[in-house]
């Protein structure tokens, strides 16, 4: 089969011919319908940040994937050939303390498909049946690979009740764009997006943000406070960028007694005004990784099926696998003139 | 009357003769029975850190206080002369968004008695009736001034359910000591205290910690993980010290999917491994300031009345007001051979 | 002034000339802009059910009211003449265990305006300042009296997170109609209304219910289960009717592990299949009365100001005070061809 | 092997020789160490209530069991021969909406061991590996069969935070006795037990109840209110008896804004003062069945290992399997002179 593979350490990847994956007894073989690029695929491709420490080459990457079940391990119950599935990328063990306490998304033995084992930028991929989500609605096929990141945003946004609350989305990349739409669908009274890229600012408006502001504006905090009077700050802040300055601003923008979702991932340790912004503010900070398995999946299916959110405007580019270099170029461009990028075989 | 007063800017204080406070219509005049020294009184006394920016001299300080009601403003309902009261030090406005949403402890217009208006290191103090807690049990009189800091610890510890959970108390000063005892009373399966001072280590044992470890031990994280198997880290971490290194260690000690109370107050911004310790860990961080008014007060009355916790061993010294200099000396000593210090008129 | 008054025991009421209320120091005098009729005004008017046991004649009734502040008691802070206010009908004491634990809506000393003291079907009414909600948005003036019942519905619906959940509204009277709209605004994936009156069925559709079914249909439970597959029952049930048969059906319609709001008030004890519908089902039942003061008010202001819900279609009739008999006639009609009825001076 | 079997419909059972169960691939074969009698075994034995509708004879019954793993299906991971296990009696499917939303205890396809398939009153029993709890502490061996009912009580008691709250235990049978001890271990400020049997009243005291009262006392509600002042009723009520009159009393004993666990199982529909006790009281009722799998198991292991509760005094009788008739006699005696009864091979 054809696959996009990190054939060796260092920047870049190859589009190669390789074997169709062998499946274990508890696994499914999936004929990939499409896959999409996550922000965390960029360090893998570029061989920067955490990637050299974790990725073992050769590795077919890509962890946002969907497709048709074409082969079924003998212990993989609940699926039939022809089923269309999206994949939960966190392969949880099911046996650790976290897994047995309904926190499979922070399984201490987690392996991530496309990072720790072969992934979805390929014609075929193997995945455990326990990580497969069977679609019952054909209309979601076209956004099948989007379920993984969309679920991430659903969990980040709805981890605490958002209805009738003011919500700040710091960073309007694909996850921030999803989060803005999810917050609106959940009945947020007001969504403010913070974003520097004009392209993404426009998308944020389209996805439902009531205000989209530039975080570099000098009086940005004053504006946020004026807009949110009388709470004098945001009820809920979703920090989706991972940019240290953005995190600093986002903490300041939260109201006293508010809530803050820590989702974006800074590349190194950051300075935090812990005393003033967390302790004295009585802030609740929720670190969010992955999605609740499968609580979040049910929620997101509801949101998508009921058309409360249409994620399609966030998909700005579709490339063939073989043009993956172009895709990573767009993804890494300075002006960020893209949302989510999809790859098809 | 006699009072301990910051008569002028700079280190130190004076024991002076001054006027008995005038009370407003909604206030009570309280004949002080005793008062105690909070860690935050040290920068006021020493004129360090945040104190010079906030304190306006002359100021009688002290915000942990109790005593007898001797005069009652005409609008101060629910009290009679002779009532014994402890004082909630956070004078909340009652009208802001936070106050009207049951978050009076983070009132945006808060004034703190003994910091923003005259306090309890005096023979008499004035306080709004809405901030007074009337005792119905004489046995609590001797620990009346302890209610304020004890309530702080109750809120910090019980902000999320602690029953059957492993709890780390980082820093066994008076608040950490209270927290250890409260965690045990709340049914924690295991309490580990971290403390460098041998004097306080001993107190932590006395207050119920199952293990008291020195955070400087090289293999401290391994020991914690061994003790907490199979959760591989603490269910709940209470960071009570504010020491930047202690905070770093405490974050590492929390288990995946755990909870972290941010209570101690570092003097400046700190570096945090936000990605690994908060985001990837799926950690919930709860910034805690003050006490829920009066939710926490009812809880602490229950805990104290039922003798689930005896806070008295934490009170290691009692000084007369006039010997306040000695008290602050003990409080600031390097070896930390003290718990809570009480001052009496 | 003119007022609608229960001048004596027995059915009916009189439109009389009476004194403008005297206000206490902590009260406001309000020139009524409009008032509305609650379902619980019907037994007062008809002198049925609980009313004879509680109401002391003569009594001006009506507890959904709004208007302009025309006089201010000297201790009534935070208001100015000309302010437009809606009134929280539950006059809480502020001093009981419930009040001091942020449960003012179940104050054990509660007095209800228009039931225990003179109410809003009059040109003027007195109310404590602590129960007044000041409007800052003129657009809400026309629905000022609706805040009280709307808040009831907001609390009933949003007491637990509703986003992405299936919601059953049992009984589409004014409160059920509000609840349906609030559930949709809060991101419910699906709202089913149960109602027998064709007039109200139509209104339920208008307010956003996805399905409106007749609870008398033989296969009603099967239909609900089919619609809600795979949860095989409703995630959340809002029982707004108080009808014993409706309650029975509503309990059956809840899914295993679901949630049930008990809001409607049956006139006497009812038979409940406690073992099967509550215990074995692992159901959570939330009894709802009043509104959280003022948490719910902030939420409802958000919902109304952001136009997430337009409550106006629920207001089907407006009558002058002097035509109150006609209003109660419409309200008590068999075919229930009405929603909320408003009275104006 | 030997087993206690419902060989045919009608009252009674036989002690017979039968085949050792065959195990499926995902199952374990367990050599029973001991088993205990649940209240719900009584209708099976006596062929009353729900039993004739559900039990298909012949059936080896008993769903509280523990023992040694002696055979392991090839797909049953995580166990070794010689492991000592307790069994979660609810065999959940793992695939339904409830199971995939972390509510396995209300799995809609649940089968209960000893009710829907052969159980633990036998020398050997088969159970799926996913329902087995492996012990790591030998000291818990002697109470291995108690884990199932004890977990029930842990879930019932700790479903909401109990620390510093007043707790009523209505009915001090084995589950009520466990609940009283668990409430104390969780830091309840006060536990009141209601019980008519002097034998069980004494046991309730032993398990930690602060007061044990007779529910038939005329002024019982007044006494409860006096004891719980100022909350004027219990913060939390655990109804463990299922007796209709006891449920009525227990509802009345709950405070305004309190919480009520519905655990005991009345034999038929009951009359409930729904308006006054649930709606107007703002009560939260939590129906409890089974245990959270495995959240509750971790909690109970913590509670038992840390010796916070010693369940042994509740075990009042031990009989050999062959003397099972005597055991059921004691269990059904009018004076209820028993706690939990254990059977051994």
**Same structural domain, A180 and A211:** yes
What local confidence, expressed as pLDDT, does residue D66 receive?
98
What local confidence, expressed as pLDDT, does residue D344 receive?
98
Determine, for residues A186 and C163 on separate chains, whether the beta-carbon distance falls below 8 Å. yes
What local confidence, expressed as pLDDT, does residue B137 receive?
85
Determine, for residues D294 and A101 on separate chains, whether the beta-carbon distance falls below 8 Å. yes
Q: Is C256 on the interface with A (CB under 8 A)?
A: no
Residues of D in contact with C230 (CB under 8 A): 96-97
Which residues, 6 or more positions from B307, have their beta carbon under 8 angstroms from its beta carbon? none
| Minimal C-alpha gap between D180 and chain B (Å) | 14
The beta-carbon neighbor of A100 closest among D77, D100, D294 is D294
The beta-carbon neighbor of B298 closest among C77, C101, C295 is C101
**Same structural domain, A69 and A138:** yes
**Cα distance between residue B84 and residue B144, in whole Å:** 9
Mean pLDDT of A299-322: 96
pLDDT tier at A137, thresholds 50, 70, 90: confident
ipTM: 0.97
The beta-carbon neighbor of C302 closest among A186, A189, A299 is A189
Number of H helices, E strands in chain C: 9, 19
Mean pLDDT of C259-283: 97
Assigned token pair, D91: 């065999």
Assigned token pair, B333: 């000593």
What local confidence, expressed as pLDDT, does residue D244 receive?
98
State how many domains chain B has: 2
**Same structural domain, A79 and A169:** no
Tell me if C155 is assigned to some domain: no
Q: Is D103 on the interface with A (CB under 8 A)?
A: no
**Same structural domain, B296 and B270:** no
Determine, for residues C187 and A185 on separate chains, whether the beta-carbon distance falls below 8 Å. yes
pLDDT tier at A138, thresholds 50, 70, 90: confident
Determine, for residues A230 and B280 on separate chains, whether the beta-carbon distance falls below 8 Å. no
Burial of A206 (0-12, 13-18, 19+ CB in 10 A): middle
**Cα distance between residue B38 and residue B46, in whole Å:** 13
| Interface chains of chain B (3 or more CB pairs under 8 Å) | A, C, D
**Same structural domain, B320 and B277:** no
What local confidence, expressed as pLDDT, does residue A3 receive?
98
| Mean pLDDT, chain C, whole residue set | 97
Residue A87 pLDDT more than 90? Answer: yes
Determine, for residues A298 and D101 on separate chains, whether the beta-carbon distance falls below 8 Å. yes
pLDDT tier at A112, thresholds 50, 70, 90: very high
Tell me if C90 is assigned to some domain: yes
Q: Is A259 on the interface with C (CB under 8 A)?
A: no
pLDDT tier at D21, thresholds 50, 70, 90: very high
Tell me if D300 is assigned to some domain: yes
What local confidence, expressed as pLDDT, does residue C77 receive?
87
Mean pLDDT of D259-285: 97
pLDDT tier at D145, thresholds 50, 70, 90: very high
**Same structural domain, B193 and B143:** no
Residues β-bridged to residue C125: C30
Q: Is B269 on the interface with A (CB under 8 A)?
A: yes
HSE-CB of D77 using CA atoms within 13 angstroms: 6
pLDDT tier at A345, thresholds 50, 70, 90: very high
Determine, for residues A78 and D95 on separate chains, whether the beta-carbon distance falls below 8 Å. yes
Mean pLDDT of C97-106: 97
The beta-carbon neighbor of D295 closest among A101, A297, A298 is A101
Residue D287 pLDDT more than 90? Answer: yes
Q: Is D75 on the interface with C (CB under 8 A)?
A: no
In chain C, what are the helix, strand and coil shares in percent, each to the nearest 5? 30, 30, 40
HSE-CB of D51 using CA atoms within 13 angstroms: 21
Instruction: Find the CATH number of the domain harbouring A280.
Output: 3.40.50.720
**Same structural domain, A179 and A314:** no
Q: Is B307 on the interface with A (CB under 8 A)?
A: no
Tell me if A175 is assigned to some domain: yes
| Minimal C-alpha gap between C25 and chain B (Å) | 10
Tell me if C181 is assigned to some domain: yes
**Residue C232 Cα distances to A64, C171, D93, D109, angstroms:** 30, 21, 15, 12
Q: Is D247 on the interface with C (CB under 8 A)?
A: yes
Nearest alpha-carbon partner for C252 in C239, C268, C263: C239
**Same structural domain, B132 and B166:** no
Domain span holding position B185: 160-287
Residues of C in contact with D247 (CB under 8 A): 274
Burial of C110 (0-12, 13-18, 19+ CB in 10 A): buried
Nearest alpha-carbon partner for B286 in C177, C310, A285: A285
Burial of A39 (0-12, 13-18, 19+ CB in 10 A): middle
Which residues, 6 or more positions from C107, have their beta carbon under 8 angstroms from its beta carbon? C90, C92, C93, C94, C96, C98, C99, D256
Tell me if C43 is assigned to some domain: yes
What local confidence, expressed as pLDDT, does residue C138 receive?
85
Q: Is D53 on the interface with C (CB under 8 A)?
A: no
The beta-carbon neighbor of A283 closest among B242, B271, B287 is B287
Residue C298 pLDDT more than 90? Answer: yes
Q: Is C270 on the interface with D (CB under 8 A)?
A: yes
- Per-residue pLDDT reduced to its tens digit, D297-336: 999 999 999 999 999 999 999 999 999 999 999 999 888 9
Question: A183: nearest CA in chain C?
Answer: C187
b/e sequence A252-267, b meaning 16+ C-beta within 10 Å: bbbbbbbbbbbbbbbe
| Mean pLDDT, chain D, whole residue set | 97
Q: Out of D287, D307, D332, pick the residue that ends a domain.
A: D287
**Same structural domain, A189 and A144:** no
Q: Is D112 on the interface with C (CB under 8 A)?
A: no
pTM of the prediction?
Answer: 0.97
Q: Is B230 on the interface with A (CB under 8 A)?
A: yes
Low-confidence winner among A319-328, B47-56, C312-321 (lowest mean pLDDT) = B47-56
Tell me if D155 is assigned to some domain: no
Q: Is B279 on the interface with A (CB under 8 A)?
A: yes
- β-pairing, C14-17 vs C2-6, is antiparallel
Residues of A in contact with C158 (CB under 8 A): 161, 163-164
Determine, for residues C281 and D287 on separate chains, whether the beta-carbon distance falls below 8 Å. yes
Q: Is C189 on the interface with A (CB under 8 A)?
A: yes
Angle in degrees, CA A187, C191, C257, rounded to 5: 95
Q: Out of C287, C312, C329, pick the residue that ends a domain.
A: C287
pLDDT tier at A173, thresholds 50, 70, 90: very high
The beta-carbon neighbor of C185 closest among A187, A299, A300 is A187
**Same structural domain, C236 and C204:** yes
Residues of B in contact with D302 (CB under 8 A): 164-165, 189-190
Q: Is A40 on the interface with B (CB under 8 A)?
A: no
**Same structural domain, A221 and A116:** no
Which residues in chain B land under pLDDT 70?
Answer: none
Mean pLDDT of A91-95: 95
Residues of D in contact with B164 (CB under 8 A): 158, 186, 298-300, 302-303, 308
Mean pLDDT of D216-229: 96
Tell me if A78 is assigned to some domain: yes
Q: Out of A287, A309, A324, pick the residue that ends a domain.
A: A287
Determine, for residues A187 and C299 on separate chains, whether the beta-carbon distance falls below 8 Å. no
What local confidence, expressed as pLDDT, does residue D138 receive?
85
Residues of C in contact with A163 (CB under 8 A): 158, 161-163, 185-187, 299
Higher per-residue confidence, D138 vs B268 = B268
Instruction: Find the CATH number of the domain harbouring B298.
Output: 3.90.180.10
For the beta carbon of residue C18, count every other beta carbon within 10 angstroms: 17
HSE-CB of A191 using CA atoms within 13 angstroms: 31
Higher per-residue confidence, B162 vs D138 = B162
Nearest alpha-carbon partner for C17 in C5, C6, C34, C33: C5
Determine, for residues A95 and D77 on separate chains, whether the beta-carbon distance falls below 8 Å. yes
What local confidence, expressed as pLDDT, does residue D137 receive?
85
Residues in chain C: 345
What local confidence, expressed as pLDDT, does residue B256 receive?
98
Residues of B in contact with C294 (CB under 8 A): 100-101
Residues in chain A: 345
What local confidence, expressed as pLDDT, does residue B138 receive?
85
**Same structural domain, A53 and A77:** yes
DSSP one-letter code for D131: G
pLDDT tier at A65, thresholds 50, 70, 90: very high
**Cα distance between residue D126 and residue C180, in whole Å:** 49
């Amino acid at each position: 089969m054809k696959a996009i593979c990190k054939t060796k350490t260092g920047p870049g990847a190859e589009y190669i011919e390789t074997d169709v994956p062998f499946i274990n007894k508890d696994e499914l073989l999936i004929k990939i319908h499409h896959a999409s690029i996550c922000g965390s695929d960029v360090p893998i491709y570029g061989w920067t940040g955490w990637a050299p420490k974790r990725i073992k080459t050769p590795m077919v990457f890509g962890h946002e994937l969907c497709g048709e079940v074409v082969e079924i391990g003998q212990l993989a119950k609940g699926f039939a050939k022809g089923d269309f599935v999206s994949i939960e990328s966190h392969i949880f063990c099911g046996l650790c303390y976290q897994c047995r306490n309904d926190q499979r998304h922070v399984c201490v033995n987690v392996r991530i498909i496309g990072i720790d084992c072969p992934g979805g930028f390929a014609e075929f991929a193997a995945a455990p049946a326990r990580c497969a989500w069977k679609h019952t609605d054909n209309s979601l096929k076209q956004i099948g690979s989007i379920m993984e990141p969309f679920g991430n945003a659903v969990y980040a946004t709805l981890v605490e009740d958002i209805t009738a609350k003011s919500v700040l989305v710091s960073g309007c990349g694909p996850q921030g764009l999803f989060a803005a739409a999810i917050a609106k669908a959940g009945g947020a009274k007001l969504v403010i997006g913070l974003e520097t890229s004009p392209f993404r600012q426009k998308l944020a408006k389209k996805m439902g943000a009531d205000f989209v502001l530039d975080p570099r504006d000098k009086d940005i905090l004053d504006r946020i406070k004026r807009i949110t009077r009388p709470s004098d700050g945001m009820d809920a802040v979703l920090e989706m960028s991972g940019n240290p300055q953005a995190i600093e601003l986002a903490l300041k923008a939260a109201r006293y007694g508010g809530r803050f979702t820590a989702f974006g991932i800074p590349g190194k340790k950051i300075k935090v005004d812990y005393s003033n912004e967390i302790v004295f503010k009585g802030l609740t900070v929720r670190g969010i990784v992955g999605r609740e398995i499968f609580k979040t999946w049910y929620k997101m299916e509801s949101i998508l099926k009921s058309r409360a959110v249409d994620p399609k405007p966030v998909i700005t580019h579709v490339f063939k696998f073989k043009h993956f270099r172009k895709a990573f170029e767009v993804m890494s461009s300075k002006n960020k003139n893209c949302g989510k990028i999809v790859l098809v075989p």
